[in-house]
Amino acid sequence: MPTTSRARSGLTSAEVARRLADEGPNVLPEGKRSPPLALLLREMVHFFALMLWAATGLALLAGMPQLALAIVVVVVLNGAFAFVQEYRADKAGRRLRELIPADVKVVRDGRRVVVNAADLVVGDTVLLEAGDRISADLELAEAHALAVNESMLTGESVPVRPREGATVFAGTFVVEGEAVGVTTATGARTRLAAVAALTRSATRPPSPLARQLAKVVKAVAAIALGVGVVFFALSLLLGMEPSAGFLFALGVTVALVPEGLLPTVTLSLARAAQQMAAQKALVRHLEAVETLGSATFICTDKTGTLTRNEMTVVEVWTPGGVLDLAEPESAAEIMHSAVLSSTGRLVRMNGRWTPVGDPMEVALHALALRAGSREDGTVTKRFPFDPGRRRSSVIADGVLHVKGAPDSVLPLCAAVPGAEQALEALSRDGLRVLAVARRTAPADSTVAKAERDLTLLGLVGLEDPPRDDVAEAIGKCRLAGIKLAMITGDHPGTARAIAKEVGLLGPEELVVTGATLPEEDDALGELLDRDGVVIARVTPEDKLRIARALRRRGHVVAMTGDGVNDGPALREADIGVAMGASGTDVAREAADLVLLDDHFATIVTAVELGRTTYANIRRFLTYHLTDNVAELTPFVVWALSGGTIPLALTVLQVLALDIGTDLLPALALGAEPPNPRTMHGPARTGSLVDRHLIRRVFGVLGPAEAVVEMTGFVAVLMLGGWTLGAEPSPVLLAAASGTAFAAVVLGQLANAFACRSETRWAGRLHWTGNPLLIWAVTIEVAILLVFVGFPPLASLLGGSFPPPAGWALAALAMPAVVAADALHKAVRSRTGST
């Protein structure tokens, strides 16, 4: 900010250190967190857990301590697992939130510096401009056309316009103008701290993904309860004692409740969020991970997202001709006006030149320093930049200095021959162009009276080269069926040149401006619903309409934004994407995803991880439900045979499958990395449990496991001399039951690899592509050997070590599952069915 009549030198570093030690950091006190033990106990008393505790009590009353113990193990292990994932996700979320930039521009030791908001102390001089989040309570020493959004505190959406001497509060946002304020309260002493204390108990409503998963869990649980009721009735019909039949049905119900499903999903989402953070994409809401993978249309900014945001002045045109920047002194006059009307600066800090503020204005200041331009001038009035005017100006020593978009400045100037042609030439080269002008003006002029009858000093062309890997990222989007649009405030010629250079411009080469967009949303959607369109000279209101129009046409829209007025558009879009390095606090607060490196390719990486997460959820859903089919089959066969075929699995064996052998492979499937085909073709949307998944589980994978399971069970019985309807000896039944148990475990081992892909059979996948799965199935086999080979435990579960023939038959489950899966995928591929 240029020197003003009321500039302050700020506190000294020594005084800041002393006050920081006395007052503490400028952070809000954290709400009282529930202790870990309380969180753990909460996971033990939800609806399903209470149902299981009741079952435990009934089992004890009926004299079946083994069943009671097994149910307790189910509740405790699932509760502990859910607690661990929730606790880890919460910790990861807190760590990730700390990555969001929270910097403040202050004056200390007579110099402008950027500090962390936590280091503010009472008495600090804070510099504010449009887009800043106010980080402490401040008394305004200066205010230039200032407007502050206090909706966070008051709920009033209309910005207030405080004047000098007024107080602005922490947590509010500057939406227009500039100001200088002196800190009056920090941390727990701010007004925001009092409001925060009232809102800490608020909770976010469940996401669409969470609601969809809850429906799946409740549906399966309802089926489990229904199956339990049916089996209780059948047991009575077959002559069982009511108490025995009730506990038998209760055990079936308990075994089929998918308690481990939601924690597995939580882990999958949390892992994806951490992976995105490692790729410089900060997910502010965990459920946004899955939504990202569904994006069908990305509306991206140009500056800093497609380009490097490393601006350099490469050409200056004046009415006298193009200046030779090899002799920068020739640009001293135009740079004097350009810098006075700017706030960005190159500041010498710790022996280095450090950019502070907008990169474009920093580039102007860099040339001004080389040119030896004067930076002095007593500023008596400021007219800050706003999206409507698209220019900024100051009155200093009786002269108005103006800088802004050429099409907003040139109409205010006397006609200059060659200016329009120069503008077209600079824009055609892909340069960002600014017009600089001036005139004499009284110190008390209004903006309308001041910004007229200007004298054009010239046009400044700034180069912002495209990022190196943007073209590759754009190619990935096209391969993935994602449409792209560039939305920028730049000149149409500049936007077209950059879009063409990076490969974004579509075959129709459609370039439109915000002023020419249709007024009707339907017509707007029809115009823009194509790949590679460029919309230049847009306003924040245009971005909001664009997001709404595209969503009405069925698109899942990702919209980038960095400006103070981009918040509504980011909220309107399905995925609001804010810039972490250069964006405003307003935009970051409104976004679902914050790009810590402001890079377009990071959006594409996040989309890929989002698609992977959706696919992983379907993978372990398929895995879980297939196991349920194999677990339920022995009870169905027993019932249909009228009890003439003994139960192949006991209730305790079913529980051992759920909590002993299935858990780790399911978790490993949730960590399946992206495959090269993840970004091939449009995103899959709709229900997680769709027709294809149901057909695959209940028509292919489940029956393959169940057939081998029951074949092995009956074969071992018959090899031992059993005949249909006879009562097998306990030793023979245990060996046959151990065979059935081993068949399910080995079938699930193969199923884990089959579930890695919905289209390719397991043999075409790299076996080492998911190292966690290799470890998981290895441990699964070890657990199997313990369950059937450790006599006390095998006896408790109701089985024993299978005979050699039993192992041979059980091992057939692996090729049977793989073969059935491969055949199913081949048929689907050949017929093109879904």
- Under DSSP, the state recorded for 165 is T
DSSP track, 379-413: EEEEE---TTT-EEEEEETTEEEEEE-HHHHGGGB
The residue among 191, 182, 142 whose CA lies nearest residue 162 is 142
- How far is it, in rounded angstroms, from Cα 135 to Cα 190? 10
- Give the DSSP per-residue string, 781-826: HHHHHHHHHSHHHHHHHT--PPPHHHHHHHHTHHHHHHHHHHHHHH
Give the sign of the dihedral formed by CA 569, CA 572, CA 573, CA 575: positive
Radius of gyration (Cα) for the chain, nearest Å?
A: 34
Enumerate residues 6+ apart whose C-beta is below 8 A from 48.
Answer: 221, 257, 259
721 φ, ψ (degrees, to nearest 5): 100, 5
Numbers of helices and strands, H then E, in the chain: 31, 23
The answer to whether 300 and 503 have CB atoms below 8 angstroms apart is: no
Those residues whose C-beta lies under 8 Å from the C-beta of residue 42, and which sit 6 or more positions away, are: 34
- Tell me how many degrees the CA angle 27-33-37 measures, rounded to the nearest 5: 150
Please say whether the beta carbons of 169 and 162 come within 8 A: no
Measure the CA–CA gap between 667 and 669, rounded to whole angstroms.
5
* Largest distance between two CA atoms of the chain: 112
Catalytic residues: 301
Helix (H, G, I), strand (E, B) or coil at 445: coil
Helix 730-754, helix 813-831: angle, nearest 10: 40
